Structure 1
Amino acid sequence: MKNQRIFPGVVLIGFGTYFFLQQANIEVLKPFFTWPTLLIIVGVAFLFQAYSGRDYDGILPGVILSGFGLHFLIVNRLDIWPDHIGSFILIISLGFLLRHLKTGTGLFQGILFLLLALMLLFYDKIISSLGALGDSVSYIWSFWPAFFILLGLYLLIFKRK
């Protein structure tokens, strides 16, 4: 019973603090009074519930919500932060891998998303380092969506236990 109060408790404390500081009108904190901060608060609540309440299924949504919120909060403030779809897939991968550490499930999905994120984030560097072979790889790369569709169909239809 106590564990079920952790998530709403953290959300209420986080939202209360957010709105209190917003009303206090502190100039230094104004850039943080946006919807990504609310995503981070909910994500942290999921993570707090997951780790302190031993409800490890909350790790994945916690990492995704707080990670996406953090991304949107800093993407235009840090030049080194990539504004790329690969960033989102990397955050999802991190969620699966962290959940795997506690539950033993999600390793395949975590590695799959990690490989996809790395391919998307570093595609240009990979192709340029391959030299002349890069043209062939670039041609094959154009078929990767079809590969994912086929792999997904295989997992849905033929991979039943």
Structure 2
Amino acid sequence: MKKISLLPGIILLGIGTFYSIQKLNIHLFENQNSWQALLILLGAAYLISGHFEKDNTTILPGIILAGLGIHFINQPKLPSWPDHAAAFLFILALGMLLTAIKTKSGYAQGIVLLLIGLFLHFFQTIIQSFSVVENGVQLIETYWSFLLIIIGAFLVFFKRKK
């Protein structure tokens, strides 16, 4: 007999509670009725379900959903909060690294995404520090994304394990 997953039940409990609190006008915290809070709730459902079922495949979607919810709540409130693509790479890298910690494999992908996120986050600072070599910097600023494409294509097509 196949074991039934906890995830659907936890999601239904969470969404039911979320909308019941709205209907009953119960105020627990700021932004509790926002779609961002719903994302956090869904992410927590994945993480809780995965924890109790010992299912490591729920870590990544749980971190992504909760991370996006936290990002969209904090981004307008905190001036130091990143508001560009690097924030999404940080969330994805965190999910991949936490999954790697649990599964004891796949650290490299998480670290690479984290490094790319850090590079994008500090891109303008890095470019400004190279102002001495302005022509080279403009070339790098224009074509750095193609370097990622070339490296990715090389890894996909030429470095595959048989």
| TM-score normalised by length of structure 2 | 0.86
User: What is the match of residue 13 of structure 1?
Assistant: 13
Q: In the alignment, residue 11 of structure 1 is paired with which amino acid?
A: I
1:136 Cα deviation from its structure 2 partner = 3.2
Q: What does residue range 36-51 of structure 1 map to in structure 2 within 5 Å?
A: 36-51=36-51
Quote the offset at 1:99 in angstroms. 0.4
In structure 2, how many angstroms separate the alpha carbons of the residues matched to 1:134 and 1:99? 41
In structure 1, the partner of 2:110 is: 110
Percent identical: 40
For residue 103 of structure 2, what is the amino acid of its counterpart?
T
Q: Match for residue 147 of structure 2?
A: 147
- Higher helix fraction (1 or 2): 1
List alignment gaps of at least 5 residues for structure 1: none
Kept in 2, the 8 Å contact 1:3–1:49? The answer is no
Residue of structure 1 equivalent to 2:63: 63
Residue by residue over 1:24-69, the C-alpha shift from the partner in whole angstroms, topping out at 9 and shown as x without a partner, is 2245656331222222111111111222211001111111111011
- Cα pair 1:22 1:30 within 8 Å, conserved: no
CA distance in 2, matches of 1:135, 1:107: 36
Q: Could you give the per-residue CA deviations for residues 99-158 of structure 1, whole angstroms, max 9, x where no partner exists?
A: 000112321210111011101111122233445257634532322211111122112211
Aligned equivalent of 1:157? 157
What one-letter code is carried by the residue in structure 1 that aligns with 2:61?
A: P
Q: Does the 8 A contact of 1:86 with 1:121 survive in 2?
A: yes
The structural deviation recorded for 1:9 is 2.3
Range moving further from structure 2, 105-114 or 123-132: 123-132
Asked if 2 retains the 8 angstrom alpha-carbon contact of 1:46 and 1:59, the reply is yes
Aligned length: 161
Contact 2:31 2:37 in 1 (8 A): no
> Equivalent residue for 2:25?
25
Structure 2 residues not aligned, in runs of 5+: none
TM-score by length of 1: 0.86
